[in-house]
Structure 1
Amino acid sequence: MTITQDRPTAEHTALDLAGDDYATITVHKVTESIGARIGGVRLGGDLDARTVAEIRRALLKHKVIFFSGQDQLDDAGQYEFAGLLGQPTAPHPTVRGNEHAVLPINSDHGKANSWHTDVTFVDRIPAISVLRAVQLPAYGGTTTWANTATAYERLSPALKALVDRLWAVHTNLYDYVAERDEKRIGGIDVQEQAYRDEFASQVFETEHPLVRVHPETGERTLLAGHFIKRLVGLNTHDSIDIFNLIQRHVTRLENTVRWNWSPGDLAIWDNRATQHYGVADYGDQKRVLHRITLAGDVPLSVDGVHSTSRKGDASHFSSLS
């Protein structure tokens, strides 16, 4: 596969992320490093182009944005709105969804209580994720996001020089529910096991740079998370140590925002510049959120080299943006 792509510049970054003036929406930061609440807009497929552009600009700047009071949205409305921001992908490379490209994030299938960026085991990592609350527990069920662009910027020059040259193999054969409750008699229940088997029904492996250049902002972001199998060219011990080092920088509390879901909430995050973690703090209550992902590009290293698929063809999942 031959891919041509202009390499983003530092000037491009300053242009895209500068300014806090919005004409059609309100934007209020949640933390200094990441996250903003967006108001003054009723989401749907009928939004005008200026409002959509301002939502996208806020997303690029704040990495994850939150909307409240969007009770009018159902799966079809969520799909129509998401389509204004980009091209929806299939629900997942291996897991079935529904006709509106929705992947249900359902606690009956397990709890994604581990830091990750969505679907990094394929070459064409989704650009944006749109997540809507459907059924919430009486307490808990929060989600936390981390900014992988600021995590990179805050590295020392020596660590930047190290990670700029490293590559990692990502795979979907990660144990997605590694922190599951082992106290149940018989271990994992049948429904959860069936979902995990479907998740791993087709094996994907992709070699990605540990640092990618964001295709819209030009920022350097850390591409890590729990789908990493190993770092290329390093032994197991060194891979684990460097992986843990990077994850520690990404997930420092000062670099994160935690969202307590309410009915009618919708979150959008830049999947190219974040990791997230669904906090399993709600016991045996049911929690359901519906996710739509938007097509992204093949990551580009700081040296201008694209990621390479090692196993599996993701063309059925997503076109390239």
Structure 2
Amino acid sequence: MSTVATDRDVRKITGRIGAEITGVDITGPLDEETVGFLRAALAEHKALVFRGAPLDDEGQERFAAHFGELTTAHPTVRSVEGAPRVLPVDVDGGVANHWHTDVTFVLTPPRATTLASKVVPPHGGETLIANTGAAYRDLPEPLRRLADGLRAVHTNAYDYATPPEQQDDKDAERRAQFESISFETEHPVVRVHPDTGERGLYLGGFVRRFVGLTTTESRDVLRLLQAYVTRPENVVRVAWEPDQVVIFDNRITQHYAPDNFDGLPRRLHRVTVAGDVPVGVDGSTSRALVGDASHYVPQH
């Protein structure tokens, strides 16, 4: 029997991104009307927070599946044992303290990401999520025109937050696993959202270079454009608590998990919804350059 929401509400967390959903029990089945309500809220607010939602892995997969088909956990990183669609996000897996959009180094990155809290540190450990559509609208017209015409190469051999000479054996092992299959994909820098038509900057930490620019030029342009994504007014800071679930639209957001919890235990489980091939403002699509991700995305 489907769960019918009563007294449901959408409470904005910031003016530009993020909303808390109340009055919807996501721990059970959801009726079609409620799913439509949640999809519309996600399209508008980009990131949704649910408190008091104790989901096990099966429940998280069931909830995420309301937004589309699921991917496997990751193209290269091991899943939770016995749950091939669930990725553990914890200290043992390394700290993702860099701005990124999930898995942009493949041709069809996820459309949405769900995170469920399992172990919450007593302080720190938040997740920052940025609205890349608002960032695009913030660009001065000359920079907007520049971004509209650019394409970027994303790769999983990215610039890690910890320099190689400072990495210990565990860091090196994690990096080797993350890069165990090489991926490179060329995406438009401005992506047109397939559902809303909104334009957003499609960048993040997996960008290696821009097509037609040198490494130095690419670094400078990336720094310039990323600065608009990470403006404080474009970012919501989600503080984790037990039994909390977050979903964000991976097509028009970036996120960042700051290393600010003193190495204390912190564990989230991630389930991602399969996406489509990004399309730029001129109608051109992304193209895979290196790597086969068929084991990661659903095949039809």
SS of 1:133's equivalent in the other structure is strand
Partner residue in 2 for 1:80: 62
Partner residue in 2 for 1:245: 224
1:232 to 211, 230, 254: 211
Mapped to 2, the partners of 1:28 and 1:320 lie a distance apart of 37
- Paired amino acid for 2:174: Y
Deviation of 1:194 (Å): 2.2
2:100 to 116, 135, 143: 116
Uncovered stretches (5+) of structure 2, i.e. residues with no partner: none
Uncovered stretches (5+) of structure 1, i.e. residues with no partner: 1-21
Partner residue in 2 for 1:14: none
Tell me the TM-score normalised to structure 2 length: 0.94
Deviation of 1:209 (Å): 0.6
2:140 to 156, 159, 162: 156
Matched, 1:60 2:43: yes
Mapped to 2, the partners of 1:291 and 1:50 lie a distance apart of 25
Partner residue in 2 for 1:29: 12
1:134 to 106, 118, 121: 118
Deviation of 1:102 (Å): 0.4
Partner residue in 2 for 1:5: none
Deviation of 1:53 (Å): 1.0
**Kindly tell me: are residues 249 and 100 of structure 1, through their superposed partners in 2, closer, same or farther at Cα, counting changes over 3 Å?**
same
Partner residue in 2 for 1:198: 177
Deviation of 1:58 (Å): 0.4
SS of 1:218's equivalent in the other structure is coil
1:202 touches 1:312 (CA, 8 Å); kept in 2?
Answer: yes
Mapped to 1, the partners of 2:53 and 2:27 lie a distance apart of 9
**Kindly tell me: are residues 206 and 24 of structure 1, through their superposed partners in 2, closer, same or farther at Cα, counting changes over 3 Å?**
farther
2:91 to 94, 107, 116: 107
Deviation of 1:203 (Å): 0.2
Mapped to 1, the partners of 2:36 and 2:292 lie a distance apart of 32
**Kindly tell me: are residues 45 and 123 of structure 1, through their superposed partners in 2, closer, same or farther at Cα, counting changes over 3 Å?**
farther
- Paired amino acid for 1:125: P
Query: Which moves more between the two structures, 97-106 or 300-309?
Result: 97-106
Number of residues of Structure 1 aligned to a counterpart in Structure 2: 294
SS of 2:42's equivalent in the other structure is helix
- Paired amino acid for 1:44: T
Matched, 1:90 2:72: yes
1:24 touches 1:51 (CA, 8 Å); kept in 2?
Answer: no
Deviation of 1:187 (Å): 4.5
2:103 touches 2:109 (CA, 8 Å); kept in 1?
Answer: yes
1:296 touches 1:320 (CA, 8 Å); kept in 2?
Answer: no
Mapped to 1, the partners of 2:248 and 2:189 lie a distance apart of 20
- Paired amino acid for 1:94: T
Deviation of 1:279 (Å): 1.2
2:185 touches 2:288 (CA, 8 Å); kept in 1?
Answer: yes
- Deviation per residue, 1:108-140 (Å, 9 max, x gap): 221000000000000101000000001111110
- Deviation per residue, 1:193-214 (Å, 9 max, x gap): 3222111100000000100110
Deviation of 1:24 (Å): 6.3
Mapped to 2, the partners of 1:166 and 1:94 lie a distance apart of 28
- Deviation per residue, 1:31-85 (Å, 9 max, x gap): 00100000101113511111111111100100001000012x1111111111121
Matched, 1:290 2:273: no
Deviation of 1:192 (Å): 3.5
Mapped to 2, the partners of 1:45 and 1:86 lie a distance apart of 17
**Kindly tell me: are residues 31 and 255 of structure 1, through their superposed partners in 2, closer, same or farther at Cα, counting changes over 3 Å?**
same
1:152 touches 1:222 (CA, 8 Å); kept in 2?
Answer: yes
Partner residue in 1 for 2:127: 143
Identity %: 48
Deviation of 1:100 (Å): 5.0
SS of 2:33's equivalent in the other structure is helix
